[in-house]
Amino acid sequence: MATDHLLVERRDAVLYLTMNRPEKLNALSEAMTEALVAELGAAAADPDIGAVVLTGAGRGFCAGGDIGAMRSRNEAAEGPPPTVEARAARLRRMEEAALLLHEMPKVTIAAVNGPAAGAGLGLALACDLRIASDQARFGTAFAKLGFAGDFGGTYTLTQLVGPAKARELYLMAEVITAEEALRLGIVNWMVPAAELRGETESIARRIANGPRIAYAYMKANLNLAISSDLRTILDREALTQTLSGRTEDHREAVKAFLEKREPKFQGR
């Protein structure tokens, strides 16, 4: 879905999605989220894509919702306001972007180049991996605006930092640095701002050139492990280990190991 609010670039097996409202720190718009959902849905079904990178244009990752647009919409409203059900349905459609980042059978990477707040933080947390510039900042922000939170952050942040710290970050809504986010395990890597692009590309290429079928099974198993028990996971692992062992990638990896060389995976 074409829109100026989301830049789409394909580099070999990596899909780069850049939220593009730099004058508003890439605050979400309906057009942006619709495009995100469409692009992520297409990438999920594309066997030639091995990794997806989500980042922001300019000096921000994503500031979350567009507060100015919310005010304008409220002031311009005529007639009865939309029902709770209608507003919730609209938000659920937008939140599909976070669900896809979390569940799609591709490895998703957030390259956090600047502030990530509210729903923007939710999008970053929904990704499998996060690399942050040392200039990045993170905040839940919702309490400051009288909101309860959306885009899955209460779930993903709790999984990453535990319930006590997640409650603190939501209830107090303090902004934390990239260094603190690294210490808490919110991000996997922190690099100087000038190195973010190169480091992100290096990680994305490594993932995209890896065993894509095994990664898809691995991601599904890791997601299932959050809410399941050991017996269920052992059963699931027995199945996916067997299935991945039937792939060409597995056979190539074994051959490469014995020949003392790097494997050349094909995603088959």
**What number is the average pLDDT over the span 131-150?**
97
pLDDT band of 70, cuts 50, 70, 90: low
Segments forming the whole domain that contains residue 168? 6-208
Phi, psi values for residue 135, rounded to 5°: -95, -5
Per-residue H/E/C for 48-86: CCCEEEEEECCCCCECCECHHHHHHHHHHCCCCCCCHHH
Stretch among 13-22, 58-67, 230-239 having the lowest mean pLDDT: 58-67
Q: pTM, whole model, 2 decimals?
A: 0.94
Evaluate whether residue 148 is within a structural domain.
Answer: yes
The Cβ of residue 253 has, within 10 Å, a number of other Cβ atoms equal to 18
Query: Are 124 and 153 a contacting pair, CB within 8 Å?
Result: no
Split into its structural domains, the chain has a count of 2
Residues 235 and 112 in one domain: no
Residues 53 and 155 in one domain: yes
Residues 50 and 161 in one domain: yes
Evaluate whether residue 158 is within a structural domain.
Answer: yes
Does the pLDDT at position 68 exceed 80?
no
Residues 177 and 247 in one domain: no
| CA–CA distance, 79 with 161 (Å, rounded to integer) | 44
pLDDT band of 85, cuts 50, 70, 90: very high
Residues 202 and 252 in one domain: no
**What number is the average pLDDT over the span 206-224?**
97
155's CB contacts (< 8 A; 6+ apart) are: none
Which residues are paired to 111 by β-bridges?
Answer: 55, 131
Residues 54 and 93 in one domain: yes
Beta strands per DSSP E along the chain: 6-11, 14-19, 51-56, 107-112, 115-117, 129-133, 137-139, 176-177, 189-191
DSSP state of 193: G
Q: What is the pLDDT of residue 146?
A: 95
∠ at Cα 17 (249, 55), nearest 5°? Answer: 105
Residues 36 and 136 in one domain: yes
Phi, psi values for residue 266, rounded to 5°: -120, 0
Residues 28 and 110 in one domain: yes
pLDDT band of 76, cuts 50, 70, 90: low
Tokens of 259: 């020949």
CATH number at residue 48: 3.90.226.10
CATH number at residue 237: 1.10.12
Residues 189 and 218 in one domain: no
170's CB contacts (< 8 A; 6+ apart) are: 140, 142, 143, 149, 153, 154, 157
| CA–CA distance, 268 with 263 (Å, rounded to integer) | 13
